[in-house]
Structure 1
Amino acid sequence: MLAAGIHGFILAFGLILPLGVQNVFVFNQGSIHKQYRRVLPVILTASISDTLLITLAVLGISVILLQIAWLTALLLTAGILFLIYMGYLTWRSKPSEVTAKQEAFSAKKQITFAASVSLLNPHAIMDTIGVIGTSSLTYSGPAKITFALACILTSWMWFFALAFVGHQVGRLRKSNGFLDILNKISAAIMWGTAIYLALTF
């Protein structure tokens, strides 16, 4: 079981580490909000969404769902459109000292956006199913549960840490120019991901 836990940790960490839309959004919200506790909605939503995807992947349910052609097409289309919309909002965001409070997403908006970039991101879904779901097939019983829990725990720790680092960066670098550049980079990554998904549709 220990080997399964270590495998799950390394695998989940490797998948979650790259700078994707979900990570950028969590980091960005952490850097914008003045209080770390105000980023909890996005952290918890991203973590719960990943927990759901990992659980479905390990149980094999997600593989069955993605075999339905129209559902796969719907997921891809919704994901692409939402990434374009999010990129537009992020690009137009102006994190000046005067408007910082207004630009920081409310709890409701954090939850909505975090759930969308997690559950409507076909790339993340494919990664979860293709890598975590497939890897879980080598285990059974308690070892499989340990593997899944290790993946889930890694995801939770990562989002809490990522938001914290973003928060510290936001505190250290109060420059409007820095946050504006961060927003532009975030928007570019979102649009780039949308283009990639559209080309591979």
Structure 2
Amino acid sequence: MEATAFLKGIGLGGSLIVAIGSQNAYLLRQALKREFVLTCIAICVICDVVLIGAGVAGMGQLIVEAPALLFWIKIAGAGFLFWYGLRAARSAFNPGVMAASENSMAGDRRTVIAAMLAFSLLNPHVYLDTVVLLGSIGGQQAGNGRWYFALGAMLASLLWFGSLGLGARYLTPVFAKPRAWQILDGVIALVMWALAISLFL
């Protein structure tokens, strides 16, 4: 029964995490630039671990009963996503040669950390997916099954973000060309704007 709950956690957690979103898009971009990749991976995983744990522990009901909180998270999240979409669009129209190398640590660590936290926490869908959905399903597991379910979902998060962040280096030859960065930034801009709009649909 515990093994079943663990596998359920991996399956459901993985299916929710793999979906294209602002968090994944930003992590991919940082991984291709090779800027603070391990820091970004750690932030993504830690945020998921905390939120999944809180959901299984019963915090999901508080989220459901606090629509005003979710509304303000939507406002902040939409504003941030729209602003970052503008940045990505500007980069797409003004491409520069971005060397995807070990020494291209041009960004500021604090800025990257702040952005990664924003992408991880300023999206109300994150709370609905991890705290409410995974929390409610995990809470239905018998006995210690809820914690095995949570561990499975947390492992799915670690595997996905680790694979995305560390596996992006194999795309380095593709992104040696400015045109590839143009396309990536254009796609990221569209994803950010679509997510910002979807928060209010």
Normalised TM-score (structure 1): 0.88
Change (3 A) 1:103 1:95: farther
Task: Tell me whether 59-68 or 112-121 shows the greater mean CA deviation.
Answer: 59-68
Q: Distance in 1 between matches of 2:105 and 2:197?
A: 26
Within-5 A mapping of 1:1-201:
1-33=2-34, 38-93=36-91, 96-97=96-97, 105-198=107-200, 200=201
Q: Distance in 2 between matches of 1:162 and 1:178?
A: 18
% identical equivalent positions: 29
Deviation readout 1:83-129 (Å, 9 max, x if unpaired): 11111222223552378788954322221111111111112221223
Deviation readout 1:144-182 (Å, 9 max, x if unpaired): 111111111110111110012322213443011101210
Q: Distance in 2 between matches of 1:21 and 1:173?
A: 20
Q: Distance in 2 between matches of 1:98 and 1:148?
A: 39
Letter in 1 for 2:76: A
Change (3 A) 1:189 1:56: same
Q: Distance in 1 between matches of 2:64 and 2:113?
A: 25
Moved over 4 A (4+): 98-104
The secondary structure found in structure 2 opposite 1:27 is helix
Contact 1:27 1:165 survives alignment (8 Å): no
Task: Tell me whether 118-127 or 101-110 shows the greater mean CA deviation.
Answer: 101-110
Change (3 A) 1:188 1:70: same
State the aligned residue count.
196
Q: Which runs of 5+ in 2 are unaligned?
A: none
Q: Which runs of 5+ in 1 are unaligned?
A: none
Q: Distance in 2 between matches of 1:95 and 1:168?
A: 21
> How far apart are 1:134 and its partner, in Å?
1.7
Change (3 A) 1:142 1:193: same
